[in-house]
Amino acid sequence: SGKAKVSWVCESCGATPGQWWGTCPSCQAVNTVRQFSEYESRGSVGFEVSEAVTRSWLPQGPGDLVPQSLEEVKKGMNQLEWRIPLPGHFGMEVARVLGGGLVPGSLVLFGGDPGVGKSTLLLQIAGILAEGLGSEGPARVIYVSGEESIDQIGNRADRMRIHAPGLYLYSSTDIEDILEKIRGFSPRVLVIDSIQTVYLRGVTGSAGNIMQVKECTSALLRFAKQTSIPVLLIGHVTKTGDIAGPRILEHIVDVVLYLEGERCSSYRLLRSVKNRFGSTDELGVFEMSESGLQAVLNPSELFLSENHPGSEVLAGLAVSVIVDGSRTFLLEIQALCASGSTVVRHINGISANRADMIISVLMRQAGLKLENTSIFINVVSGFKLTDTAGDLALAAAICSSFLEFPLPNDVAFIGEVGLGGELRTVPRMDKRVTAVAKLGYKKCVVPTSAEKSLSGLHLDIDILACGNLTAVINRLF
Ligand code: TYD
Ligand code: MG
């Protein structure tokens, strides 16, 4: 069955030390290194445990696949394109991140920090799927929790005003028991909350252990493929990624979505990091309310503080535009420069290396005396800025705070900063400038090299084209 090769895996930390060791070289656990035969199936790597997992009723691995003629495959492809739709504003926001809907037989991992709202999100998805889909009528959806009792889930569903007759709740941590119990239900979708709480009999180690996590996921993948019932799987992951679970699962599952958000903010972002059925650069935006997550329909202004055009102006603020998936977001960067005996740099929401580079460029190329200045940088609303289009706004925010000169709040900044202080153009300039113009900004600072690509736009906005940071400072400060 498939290509089998032997490997050695530590049951405690998941390390693959290449040979047997009495003490794991990575985690120093004693007698935890075991031999596994590893098989490769359709791009995913699974671990086959000798006899334990091969129970008769469990859908089997790649062994039952046979070669198919191209004609048969083509016939099947029409079916592949069919997706289970998710109705309503909330459902459409989730469906967009999934790549247009839920693919039958897919295994989807929802990762995220504890408390971010994964159970809430999945209970809501289960709710709308069980409410019925237009002409198709209600369907059965099973929400299995190993974390909460069915009364607790019921209470939560009540608070969230989910009243779907097709929604079934079940509390169990035994994968065999779960798959056996739902057989008679033929549900449209199965939700498992969470992978860290379920276990498979016959696999050594308790729930959450790396081998349990791998084996349970492989069993759920086989179940999904054999029955065509999509399985939505929750996985806890911490910011530092030190819970091994979801990271190693990314290879096994079809789709990986992460729910992100800061404790102090009610906004939640659903981001696709792997998708066998669609693009991975879509982003869903939600707001956590008393009755669950609501889709944010127009998120362009989400990441701005109260400093909108027309309000009072403060030094150290600058606005940029980032593109994520098919949408644009305005983003505000805040900088605070303070002189003192000790110099500290505190950077939040941007890569520290990127910020250090821009600070150095401001000193070397634009002559700002920042050597003895403490600098604090923050991106409003806890958004992580990875788009270099924000470089210029970051530089402008630092200048504004250092020179104690508030920037007019109807100016936006778009551009990458190079090591020589030169401004470079970024992709989708036209889309970004259109977004700021629509939100009432009157001026937009862009790299000179981008000016030509913007000449065709007929917008009510002044384009200030600058070649380098010195030119920006001379024109605005
Ligand atoms: P939860 O879904 O339990 O998080 P996770 O499964 O990722 O650990 O949600 C946790 C938080 O969400 C909890 O602090 C309460 C809050 N919450 C709301 O604000 N509104 C709601 O309707 C619900 C159900 C939860
Ligand atoms: Mg939960």
Same structural domain, 348 and 399? yes
CATH code (residue 146): 3.40.50.300
pLDDT of residue 142: 96
Is there a contact between 302 and 313 (Cβ–Cβ < 8 Å)?
no
Angle at which helix 391-402 crosses helix 469-476, to 10 degrees, equals 50
Q: Is residue 118 part of a domain?
A: yes
From ligand 1's centre to the CA of 287, what distance in Å? 11
What's the confidence (pLDDT) of residue 273?
83
Ligand 1 lined by 118 (C-beta under 6 Å)? yes
> Which ligand 1 atom minimizes the distance to the CA of 234?
6
Q: Give me the helix-helix angle, 175-182 and 210-227, nearest 10°.
A: 20
Distance between CA atoms of residues 42 and 169, nearest Å: 32
DSSP at 203:
S
In this structure, is residue 218 part of a structural domain?
yes
118-140 as b/e: b if 16+ CB within 10 A: bbbbbbbbbbbbbbebeeeeebb
Instruction: Give 57's pLDDT tier (boundaries 50, 70, 90).
Output: very low
Residue 293 β-bridge partners: 288
What is the count of structural domains for the chain? 3
**417 within 8 A of 390, measured Cβ to Cβ:** no
| Alpha-carbon distances of 288 from 34, 215, 277, 295, 383, rounded to whole Å | 44, 33, 28, 9, 16
pLDDT, tens digit (0-9, with 9 covering 90-100), for 424-466: 999 989 989 988 887 788 899 999 999 988 988 888 899 999 9
Q: Please write the tens of the pLDDT for every residue from 123-160.
A: 999 999 998 655 556 689 999 999 999 999 999 999 99
336 — pLDDT class (breaks 50, 70, 90):
very high
Check if 457 has its Cβ closer than 6 Å to any atom of ligand 1.
Answer: no
Task: Using the 3D structure, point to which of 252, 267, 297 is the last residue of a domain.
Answer: 297
Q: Which of 248, 267, 297 is the last residue of a domain?
A: 297
Q: Which residue has the higher pLDDT, 328 or 268?
A: 268
Q: Does one domain contain both 256 and 123?
A: yes
The CB of 156 under 6 Å from ligand 1? The reply is: yes
Residue 1: the pLDDT is: 41
40 and 84 inside one domain: no
86: in domain: yes
Angle between helices 391-402 and 352-364 (to 10 degrees): 60
Does 460 contact ligand 1 (Cβ within 6 A)? no
Of 267, 297, 327, the domain-final residue: 297
CATH number of the domain at 471, please: 3.30.230.10
261 falls within a domain: yes
Question: Is the CB–ligand 1 distance for residue 287 below 6 Å?
Answer: no
Ligand 1 geometric centre to CA of 121 (Å): 9
**Ligand showing the shortest atom-to-Cα distance for residue 111:** 1
Q: Residues within 5 Å of ion ligand 2 by Cβ?
A: 119
- For residue 57, give the amino acid letter: W
The answer as to whether 408 is a domain residue is yes
Q: Is 268 in the pocket of ligand 1 (CB under 6 A)?
A: no
In this model, does residue 317 exceed pLDDT 80? yes
Of 221, 390, 271, whose CA–CA distance to 322 is shortest?
390
Structure tokens at 407: 């920037």
Could you tell me whether strands 231-236 and 107-112 are parallel, antiparallel, or unpaired per DSSP bridges?
A: parallel
Say if residue 29 is in the same domain as residue 77: no
340 and 282 inside one domain: no
Note whether 120 and 170 are same-domain residues: yes
In this prediction, residue 341 carries a pLDDT of: 81
What is the CA(158)–ligand 1 centre distance, in A? 13
* The pLDDT value given to residue 138: 67
321 part of a folded domain: yes
Percent above pLDDT 90 for the chain:
48
Q: Are residues 399 and 461 in the same domain?
A: yes
Q: Are residues 227 and 288 in the same domain?
A: yes
Q: Domain range spanning residue 459?
A: 317-476
Ligand 2 centre distance from Cα of residue 145 (Å): 9
Ranges 61-70, 388-397, 461-470: which has the least confidence = 61-70
Do residues 134 and 246 both lie within one domain? Answer: yes
- What size, in residues, is the chain? 477
- Is residue 420 in contact with ligand 1, taking CB distance under 6 Å? no
Q: Is the pLDDT of residue 328 over 90?
A: no
Does residue 219 share a domain with residue 86? yes
In terms of domains, do 238 and 97 share one? yes
The mean per-residue pLDDT over the stretch 78-89 comes to 78
Top-confidence residue, 400 or 82: 400
Give residue 61's pLDDT band: very low, low, confident or very high (50, 70, 90).
Answer: very low
How is residue 87 written in tokens? Answer: 């109705």
128 and 263 inside one domain:
yes
pLDDT tens digit sequence for 287-310 = 999 999 999 877 666 666 655 555
Q: In this structure, is residue 306 part of a structural domain?
A: no
* Residue 5 phi, psi (nearest 5): -135, 155
Which one of 116, 120, 269 would you pick to mutate in the ligand 1 pocket, going by the greatest count of ligand atoms within 8 A of its CB?
120
Which stretches of 178-246 are assigned E, i.e. beta strand? 189-193, 231-236
Angle at 365 between CA 364 and CA 366, to 5 degrees: 105
pLDDT-based confidence at 47, cuts 50/70/90?
very low
